[in-house]
Amino acid sequence: MSKSQNKLAEFQGKREAVIEILLNEYIKY
pLDDT by residue, tens only, the chain of 29 residues? 689 889 988 999 999 999 999 999 998 76
Q: What is the per-residue pLDDT for 16?
A: 95
pTM here is: 0.54
Backbone angles phi, psi at 2, to 5 degrees: -75, 165
SS3 29: coil
Q: What is the per-residue pLDDT for 24?
A: 94
